[in-house]
Structure 1
Amino acid sequence: MAPPFAPAGSWSTLLSALLCILLCSDVCVRQCGAAIGINYGQVGNNLPTPTQVVSLLSSLRVGKVRIYDVNPQVLSAFSGTGIELIVTVPNDLVQPMAASTGQALQWVTANIKPYFPATRFTGVAVGNEVFTDDDEALKASLVPAMRNLHAALAQLGMDGYVHVSTASSLGVLATSYPPSQGAFTQECAQLMLPFLRFLAETNAPFWINAYPYFAYKADPTKVSLDYALSNPYHVGAVDPYTRLQYTSMLYAQVDAVSFAAARLGYGGIPVFVSETGWPSKGDADEVGATVENALAYNRNLLVRQTGNEGTPLRPRQRLEVYLFALFNENMKPGPTSERNYGLYQPDGRMVYNVGFAQQQRTSAASLSLAASSAPPATTTNVRNDFTRLCLFSSLAILLTSQAFLLG
């Protein structure tokens, strides 16, 4: 877990940012939908139909979506849209799929082949957070199930289009800070070697579910809120071993996974974020679960994504991120926060506006991207890239100008 770091705002920085707002082109948030993925969860009894959801996503120009099943209505709704889709094999099917190549082939034949290629599948997540599950048999079955599934896709000629991986929680790491000291837990390390070997053989990514919110909630007096929110205007953290500077806890967590994989001999595997988000509402003991923080977190990530930003370890490899989630889901168990990660209410109202604006058309309400004053940025090291500094500082002004004016 990262130590606290104080914001480093100054009037000179703010004036520079203001000049950027005045001088740079107005294109940033127009590209946000295409730049970022979204998790479309369905644990609710009041959600819109899949067809309505796809209409919303298309109007937002969202190009990548992850779902947690293979619901036929959803798969049909995505047909012909061009939206990239990651689907999920539920945990209870992992062991049967590991035990039988026929089971894997049957699953692909029933759930992928009928919709391909009209529905643009790009990934299958075999289980979710299996490596940190208590079921030892489930964990042992994961890689054999992935191999059987990949073989089934290859048999049907789809392996060149659809990656096979699994989404893991940050609980697979024993150490995550500083990022260069990232290491898997002793238990997970034994399971990681065959998993990483499979990813390397099939050119598949390592998917991680990463939530800086949990780190902040666990110790808000020591974890910097600015760092957890990926706010661009603070000093951040410098890894004492690599001297890489991190202004985003999320990006530090991703690099920690990359370093952990490198320790096992697989440093070249790309690490992508399959889930991340911030709740807009929580229980009394859920510190930081507010609309303001959720807005800041997701908007900061949208801007970084639009700038094609990579992590400090891999600045030229754009980090792929899937926000959690599209809707608030009223049937999710657990604390209040679990039901309040959505960008939208089920009736289509925004919980908060991260850069999407709603417009009325003749037949029905549709959504289009709002203009933003943030300029585009290139993928280079944040310490040396003045364009990115302008981009981030501009966003900081938009989010904090009122506080500075009143102060």
Structure 2
Amino acid sequence: MADFSSRMAVSHFFIIFSLIYFSGFGFLRGITALGINYGQVGDNLLSPQKVLHLLSSLRLTKARIYDTNPQILTSFANSNIELIVTVENEMLAQLIYPQQALQWVSTHIKPYFPATRITGIAVGNEIFTGDDTTLMAYLVPAMVSIHGALVQLGLDSHIQVSTPSSLAVLAESYPPSAGSFKSEVYATMSQVLKFLASTKSPFWINAYPYFAYKDDPERISLDYVLFNPNSGMVDPYTKLHYDNMLYAQVDAVIFAIARMGYDGIEVRVSETGWPSKGDLNEVGATIENAAVYNRNLLRRQLQKEGTPLRPNIRVEVYLFALFNEDLKPGPTSERNYGLYQPDGTMCYNVGLSTLSSTSSTSTTSISLTSSATKVKP
């Protein structure tokens, strides 16, 4: 017979589970939950004007950039693209000061808004992944100062402030109900979550099932990570069935957040994708797998799916990436996540134009098959 503490732990788990499961009902998100990451670490990239044309031809209405490039912000004015911009990691030290943050927002955001539909500011990127504790200490003060500047300028109701994290922030992610944050990020993460809850902003996670498969291809099913038909897995505690790894990763993050006392924060996928090419030791990095992963993910988007834990809240996802960024350092895969080459040549055809035009479950039309396979530079 379980002792009192064990029974209390089980009881606490089911309280958490009930809160975060039932909090999803009645809040079905809209149909525009798909975006794409527009990186610029490439040679001979299309001009921002051509990129805007490309996004329009793909019928995508959300994009994320990794800076506040004025050419992009100007070119995207008076379009239907909702844009998330980024404060580079090296800028955080300056922006912990309210006056500096006000100057930054006044210079990099206010002149372009509302003509350019800036909807989010990503403060840094994957701050928790490295060992830079000083940078980590700057994160929340910078977020607070930037949000304060938005409030002062009357922009806070239009622009959310958050920070994308990698799955490396989790100490446990399997099964999803065991999701918890690493002890070394706990203190700062608690402050981040308090900020997100108080400003009603989302938690952004960069989630790549590819990495899990690459590291353990003998034990992890390729069909499971590619959204192909498979038997999936059942969480032994929640009894929820998962037929793909991405949704399991998202729910693990939701559980980790709930364990810290926050059950109402929405989790959005700020990056996910699959490389079409890799080094010899990068198992699974093929053009076939990349096409299947992105195609199946987009099919799920058309079906307006939520995760098993929050079935009525459609997962907002930003694909990584629009372009192969041929100047990025690191393994070959880092330069081969794009749907397109830097010059606008299509890397592979995701093939959803027919599906999007015939789908009876959605009024949106998401297509990754442009009428031309190359946009003129």
Q: What's the TM-score, normalizing by structure 1? A: 0.80
Q: 2:43 aligns with which of 42, 45, 57?
A: 45
| Unaligned segments of structure 2, at least 5 residues | 1-30, 363-377
Q: What letter corresponds to residue 139 of structure 1 in structure 2?
A: M
Asked if 1:130 corresponds to 2:115, the answer is no
1:245-291 deviation per Cα after TM superposition (whole angstroms, max 9, x unaligned): 11110110000000000000002100000000000001111100001
Q: Where does residue 64 of structure 2 map in the other structure?
A: 66
1:372 and 1:71 mapped to 2: Cα distance? Answer: 32
Change (3 A) 1:372 1:106: closer
Match of 1:118 in 2: 115
Q: Is the 8 A contact 1:35 1:62 kept in 2?
A: no
- 1:5-404 residue pairs with structure 2 within 5 A? 34-98=32-96, 100-231=97-228, 233-355=229-351, 369-371=353-355, 375-377=359-361
Q: Which runs of 5+ in 1 are unaligned?
A: 1-32, 357-368, 379-407
Quote the Cα distance in structure 2 between the aligned partners of 1:97 and 1:339.
Answer: 31
Residue 45 of structure 1, CA deviation: 1.4
The DSSP-based 3-state class of the residue aligned with 2:163 is strand
- Does the CA-based 8 Å contact 2:43-2:342 persist in structure 1? no
Quick one: distance in 1 between partners of 2:214 and 2:278? 11
**1:183–1:256 CA contact under 8 A, matched in 2:** yes
- SS of the aligned residue for 2:86 comes to strand
Give per-residue Cα distances to partners, 1:357-398, cap 9 Å, x unaligned.
xxxxxxxxxxxx4455874448xxxxxxxxxxxxxxxxxxxx
> Which residue of structure 1 lines up, in the alignment, with residue 16 of structure 2?
none
Secondary structure of residue in 1 paired with 2:111: helix
TM-score, scaled relative to structure 2: 0.86
Alpha-carbon distance in structure 2 between the residues aligned to 1:79 and 1:92: 27
The SS at the match of 2:162 is strand
- What is the CA distance between 1:212 and its match in structure 2? 0.4
Q: CA deviation at 1:347?
A: 2.3
1:100-131 CA-partner distances (Å, limit 9, x unpaired): 10110011000000000000011000000001
Distance 1:253 1:110 in 2: 37
Partner of 2:11: none
- Contact between 1:38 and 1:65, CA under 8 Å: does it hold in 2? yes
User: Residue 374 and residue 59 in structure 1: after superposition, are their counterparts in 2 closer, same or farther (change >3 A)?
Assistant: closer
> How big is the shift at 1:223?
0.7
Q: Deviations over 1:202-242 (max 9, x none)?
A: 000000001000000001000110111122x2111110100
The one-letter amino acid paired with 1:122 is: T
- Work out the number of aligned pairs and report it: 332
User: Equivalents in 2 of 1:188, 1:208: separation in Å?
Assistant: 15
Report the RMSD for the aligned CA atoms in angstroms: 1.4
Answer yes or no: is the 8 Å Cα contact 2:320–2:337 preserved in 1.
yes
After the TM superposition, which segments of 4 or more aligned residues of structure 1 sit over 3 Å from their partners?
Answer: 369-378
1:70 partner amino acid: T
CA contact (8 A) 1:66 1:86 kept: yes
Quick check: 1:68–1:88 contact (8 Å CA) kept in 2?
yes
Q: Partners of 1:370 and 1:48 in 2: how far apart?
A: 27
Contact 1:307-1:377 within 8 A present in 2 as well: yes
Change (3 A) 1:49 1:370: farther
CA contact (8 A) 1:355 1:372 kept: no
CA distance in 2, matches of 1:132, 1:340: 22
**Residue type matched to 2:332 in 1?**
T
Match of 2:7 in 1: none
